[in-house]
Amino acid sequence: MSAHEHIKFWHDATLSNLELLHATYVTHTFAPHTHEGYVIGVIEQGAEQFAYRRSQHVAPVGSIVFINPGEMHTGSSAAEHGWTYRTLYPPVELLQRAVSDLTGRTRAIPFFAEAVVHDPEMMTELSLTHRALEDQASSALERESRLLWTLSRLIVRYADDHPRPRPFAKEHMGIQRVRAYLEENYAKNISLEQLAAIAHLSPFHLLRSFRDQMSLPPHAYQIQTRIMHAKHMLATGLSCIDTAIAVGFADQSHFSKHFKRIVGVSPGLYGAVRKK
């Protein structure tokens, strides 16, 4: 491997054994090959070129790449300094479950007709989702929510039959039950399936309805609730590390990042000022 190349490959057993890759390749060339599942990647730097479905494609920085299951393709650099990309390898059943959840009925697996698309909004969302999945300190709820939401949006925009979400209906009571559950169990590691069962909605429609009514997804609401309780604990003199553990964060650094993002100051400074 070239000195300028780096590879990080991992999988998440809690997300249908989803495989993920974050890599920079310069001289490496992929031999013709296929995957059992999908390839969905975003080019962060440089450019990649590849043969796919009897055509040559170039994916420049900022583009999204789709490879359908079982399709032969290659891969190599199209730029002097190679390319850096983040890639998801979702199994077929994960995409089929997403499209069925989206439409409210059993559907065939989605087919992505375009190999390379330019969509800055979805590129940013896909990159953020990949980073969240890379962060082992992120909650199960955040990982599950981000993955399902991103895959569903990609399916709506780029699957060849453009499946539409089933008609939207306000679900005030179900969402209020979920909100109450998050507030009462803010420190727990809650799954998206648990919340969907409480709301009596599918996971996608829970996310859709919760965002509509609360203006943010369930995992973000849980983080907001944790920070609210953390402020009260810090004001009583509890240490940052003990507060982080008490409100459900995996570690102090993760807690500090979210606290400053929401409150505007570090938890240490906040606690020191409130104790005076």
How far CA 249 is from CA of 89, 174, 185, in Å, comes to 28, 26, 13
**Mean pLDDT over the full length of the chain:** 94
Same domain, 83 and 208: no
Neighbours of 2 (CB within 10 A): 11
- Retrieve residue 212's tokens: 């509509």
Assigned domain for 166 exists = no
Q: Tell me how far apart the alpha carbons of residues 31 and 95 are, in angstroms, rounded to a whole number.
A: 26
Assigned domain for 163 exists = no
For the stretch 41-64, pLDDT in tens is 999 999 999 999 999 999 999 999
The C-alpha angle 214, 218, 220, rounded to 5 degrees, equals: 90
Same domain, 140 and 19: yes
Q: Tell me how far apart the alpha carbons of residues 228 and 186 are, in angstroms, rounded to a whole number.
A: 10
Same domain, 41 and 102: yes
- Which domain range does residue 265 map to? 227-275
Question: What's the pLDDT score for residue 100?
Answer: 92
Same domain, 118 and 235: no
Assigned domain for 164 exists = no
pTM higher than 0.75, yes or no? yes
Same domain, 152 and 182: no
Question: What's the pLDDT score for residue 17?
Answer: 93
Assigned domain for 48 exists = yes
- Tell me the CATH number at 235: 1.10.10.60
For the stretch 113-151, pLDDT in tens is 999 999 999 999 999 999 999 998 899 999 999 999 999
Same domain, 149 and 177: no
Assigned domain for 65 exists = yes
Q: Tell me how far apart the alpha carbons of residues 102 and 205 are, in angstroms, rounded to a whole number.
A: 7
List CB contacts of 267: < 8 A, sequence separation 6 or more: 230, 234, 240, 243, 244, 255, 256, 259, 260
Length of the chain, please?
276
Same domain, 126 and 182: no
Is residue 30's pLDDT more than 70?
yes
Of 106, 125, 158, which residue sits at a domain end? Answer: 158
- Tell me the CATH number at 92: 2.60.120.280
Same domain, 142 and 262: no
For the stretch 85-108, pLDDT in tens is 999 999 999 999 999 999 988 888
Please answer whether residues 148 and 87 qualify as being in contact, where contact means their C-beta atoms are separated by less than 8 angstroms. Answer: no
pLDDT band of residue 1 (cuts 50, 70, 90) is low
Same domain, 185 and 259: no
DSSP per residue over the chain, as a string? --TT-EEEEEEETTTTTEEEEEEEESS--EEEE--SS-EEEEEEEEEEEEEETTEEEEEETTEEEEE-TT--EEEEESSTT-EEEEEEE--HHHHHHHHHHHHTS--PPP-B--SEEE-HHHHHHHHHHHHHHH-TTS-HHHHHHHHHHHHHHHHHHHBTT-PPPPPP---HHHHHHHHHHHHHSTTS---HHHHHHHHTS-HHHHHHHHHHHHSS-HHHHHHHHHHHHHHHHHHTT--HHHHHHHHT-SSHHHHHHHHHHHHSS-HHHHHHHHH-
Question: What's the pLDDT score for residue 146?
Answer: 97
Assigned domain for 167 exists = no
Find the mean pLDDT for residues 198-213.
94
List CB contacts of 168: < 8 A, sequence separation 6 or more: 208, 209, 212
pLDDT band of residue 171 (cuts 50, 70, 90) is confident
Assigned domain for 180 exists = yes
How far CA 135 is from CA of 47, 121, 183, 189, 241, in Å, comes to 25, 21, 24, 15, 19
Same domain, 179 and 50: no
Find the mean pLDDT for residues 176-190.
96
Same domain, 22 and 95: yes
Same domain, 129 and 37: yes
Question: What's the pLDDT score for residue 166?
Answer: 79
For the stretch 231-252, pLDDT in tens is 999 999 999 999 999 999 989 9
Question: What's the pLDDT score for residue 266?
Answer: 94
How many domains does the chain divide into? 3
Percent of the chain past pLDDT 70, that is, above it, reads: 98
Assigned domain for 165 exists = no
